[in-house]
Amino acid sequence: MTNDAAPTKDAAPTDASAVAKVSTRGPADAAPTADPPAVLTERRGGVLLITLNRPQVRNAVNAAVAEGVAHALEELDADDELAVGILTGAGGFFCAGMDLGAFVRGESPWFGDRGFAGIAQRSARKPLIAAIEGFAVAGGMEVALACDLIVAARGAKLGIPEAKRSLVAAGGALLRLPRRMPYHVVMELALTGDTMPAERFHELGVVNRLAEPGGAVEAARELAATLANNGPLALVASKQILQEQFDWSTAEMWERQAAISGPVFASEDAKEGASAFKEKRQPVWRGR
């Protein structure tokens, strides 16, 4: 979960402590300015855009980021007007992982039962799309993997370089990647610590859609709009079944699925969906 990014000529220092000393003061006679929020949210058309807002340290995760992401996910799930979330990073890159400087100072990048970055162990109930620019490495990759869909800009670098620092990608990558891509490719990623381009992850099915550089959020918005047109109860139930079915035995899987899907079939929205199809009109969802 370290903040190791793919090396580039104009990349910021890897260790967040190297930039933590930059002053936010203006001229000597000016009053100190408050630090900007570590996480920003924006609502548009039933979609909540969540932005990691620490570009000066490549959106490395500290306590404020973990708390901000957790609160944003709570907002997404609690508001019936919101159907889908998008998680992205400011400054042209997604996330470089854990803020090592903040960690050394005693800050925790974990938040409650949501875990690392306020998302790794418990994400939102509603669909969440990662929109990646630049790179998503170490804990940043694990944040992306905690999302349900991934949109990435061409040329973006993704990977889990923890082994290069004698660390382990314990924020979910080693648990989630083997279920989503070939075993030997995951092993290569974990043991070499090297990154791969978004195009390769797209070939392997981990990245859903590719965008031109600078266009990941817009492409994610297009995907989110498609999802938001569907029944909100169906979105949540479908996600829940897909995520929980790994723990179900063959004997119980139909019963467990019925417990989740049954209320959706009996809902007002299900009747509205059938009526709208028959009447050749757009459905009006009520979330009940």
Asked about 212 being catalytic, the answer comes back as no
> Is residue 47 helix, strand or coil?
strand
H or E element: which one contains 195?
Answer: none
Asked about 142 being catalytic, the answer comes back as yes
Q: Which residues contact 50 (CB under 8 A, 6 or more apart)?
A: 39, 40, 41, 69, 72, 73, 76, 85, 86, 87, 88
Terminal CA-CA length for the chain: 39
Active-site choice (42, 67, 162, 199): 162
Q: What's 100-119 look like in SS3?
A: HHHHHCCCCCEEHHHEECCC
Active-site choice (67, 75, 142, 268): 142
CA-based nearest residue to 43, from 4, 79, 1: 79
Active site amino acids: 142, 162
